[in-house]
């Protein structure tokens, strides 16, 4: 079989041989080789983390992000991107069917946006001479709420650096939205009918990601796509395969081609390595291989919600 990528008509499946040399993480001091993966690292030769959370995150540890910044400076990092979860649209709660705690702890409230941006400005003043600090948001893509999302981005865009766009919620049981990464039990309740139909479930998810990257949110459209295959977070628990059927491969390929044309980046997210039922990065080596062939740029991200998580991510 040829190693060429498939054409847009899906005439040839992707060959996984492109990913055979993806290596294991080796730590922060080897700046060119930390978490060596297949792809085009926008910060090759420099330590940079594009996905960090703060003490304001309602599902975080409460650790002050200043402690993470100080540790990053100690490690010799060039850049950190602080990307707190943006508030969910006001009408979203009516469409959400999952555990109320999952919704209550998912993101900042709107009244926390100004204090968060003020915190970011303070951190930039205090540490900006030692490290490049970007302050932005991790914004959720929610079909049906695109206008509200663009309104938010228009509001905060002039005051932010790099923003992420992620998919944390998908429609499931009871014709409502459910959180994809809250718990195994919640996932089973939401998507139980698909647990024996992995290909259908994964295709639905990646079609949602495709919709996300095809949506124009205006001049402040997020520059990077967060943990592109977070659908696999519980793959070991549900005995999901690490492979995709040909139709799903084509959807993923279209996502990556779209990102390439848009000159947007992937979040190569380390956090999945440390999730017991995931055990690998987001994206998978297979998707990394596709991105490598297409030349889609990426930035490493620890998705740290605590100092311990940051140290663990960059000290293995």
Query: Count of domains in the chain?
Result: 1
| Residue-level pLDDT at 316 | 64
| Residue-level pLDDT at 40 | 72
Number of helices followed by number of strands (H, E) in the chain: 9, 10
Residues near 271 by beta carbon (within 8 Å), at least 6 away in sequence: 227, 282, 301, 302, 303, 304, 309, 313
| Residue-level pLDDT at 310 | 96
14 belongs to a structural domain: no
| Residue-level pLDDT at 30 | 39
CB 14 within 8 A of CB 294: no
In three-state secondary structure terms, 249 is helix
| Residue-level pLDDT at 130 | 97
33 belongs to a structural domain: no
| Residue-level pLDDT at 175 | 93
69 vs 185: CA distance, rounded Å: 34
- Residues of 249-286 as b/e, b for ≥16 C-beta within 10 angstroms? bbbbbbbbbbbeeeebbbbbbbbbbebeebebbbbbbb
Q: What are phi and psi of 41, to 5 degrees?
A: -75, 120
CB 235 within 8 A of CB 247: no
CATH of the domain at 70: 3.20.20.140
231 vs 310: CA distance, rounded Å: 22
Q: What order do you get walking across the sheet with 297-301 strand by strand?
A: 40-41, 297-301, 265-269, 224-225, 164-166, 132-140, 79-85, 48-52
23 belongs to a structural domain: no
pLDDT tens-place values along the chain, 316 residues long: 333 433 333 333 333 333 333 333 334 443 334 454 656 777 777 899 999 999 999 999 999 999 999 999 999 999 999 999 999 999 999 999 999 999 999 999 999 999 999 999 999 999 999 999 999 999 999 999 999 999 999 999 999 999 999 999 999 999 999 999 999 999 999 999 999 999 999 999 999 999 999 999 999 999 999 999 999 999 999 999 999 999 999 999 999 999 999 999 999 999 999 999 999 999 999 999 999 999 999 999 999 999 999 999 998 6
18 belongs to a structural domain: no
- pTM metric for this prediction: 0.88
**Angstrom distances, CA of residue 175 to CA of 166, 187, 190:** 21, 14, 10
**Angstrom distances, CA of residue 293 to CA of 21, 23, 84, 245, 250:** 14, 17, 31, 19, 14
134 belongs to a structural domain: yes
280 belongs to a structural domain: yes
Give the residue numbers spanning the domain of 99: 47-315
Q: How far is CA 61 from the centre of its chain?
A: 19
- DSSP letter at 96 equals B
8 belongs to a structural domain: no
Residue 97 Rama label (left phi>0; alpha psi -120 to 50; beta): alpha
Q: Beta strand pairing status for 79-85 and 169-171?
A: unpaired
299 belongs to a structural domain: yes
């Amino acid at each position: 079989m040829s190693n060429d990528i498939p054409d847009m008509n899906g005439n040839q499946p992707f060959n996984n041989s492109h990913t055979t040399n993806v290596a294991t993480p080796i730590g922060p001091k080897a700046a060119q080789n930390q978490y060596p993966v297949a792809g085009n690292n926008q910060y090759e030769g420099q330590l940079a983390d594009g996905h960090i959370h703060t003490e304001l995150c309602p599902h975080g540890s409460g650790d002050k992000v200043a402690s993470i910044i100080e540790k990053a400076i100690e490690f010799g990092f060039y850049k950190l991107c602080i990307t707190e979860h943006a508030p969910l649209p006001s009408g979203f709660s009516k469409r959400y069917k999952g555990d109320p705690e999952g919704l209550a702890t998912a993101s900042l409230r709107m009244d926390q946006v100004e204090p968060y941006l003020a915190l970011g400005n303070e951190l930039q003043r205090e540490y900006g001479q030692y490290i490049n600090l970007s302050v932005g948001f991790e914004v959720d893509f929610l079909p049906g709420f695109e206008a509200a999302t663009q309104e938010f981005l228009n509001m905060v865009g002039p005051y932010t650096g790099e923003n992420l766009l992620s998919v944390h919620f998908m429609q499931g049981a009871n014709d409502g939205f459910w959180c994809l990464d809250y718990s195994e039990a919640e996932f089973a309740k939401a998507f139980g009918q698909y647990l024996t139909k992995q290909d259908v479930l994964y295709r639905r998810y990646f079609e949602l990601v495709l919709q996300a990257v095809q949506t124009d949110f205006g001049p402040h459209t997020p520059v990077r796509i967060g943990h592109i295959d977070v659908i696999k977070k519980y793959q070991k628990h549900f005995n999901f395969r690490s492979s995709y059927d040909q139709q799903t491969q084509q959807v993923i390929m279209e996502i990556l081609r779209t990102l390439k044309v848009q000159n947007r980046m992937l979040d190569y997210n380390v956090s999945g390595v440390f999730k017991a039922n995931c055990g690998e990065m987001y994206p998978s080596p297979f998707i990394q291989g596709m991105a490598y062939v297409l030349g889609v740029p990426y930035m490493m991200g620890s998705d740290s919600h605590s100092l311990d998580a940051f140290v663990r991510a960059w000290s293995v």
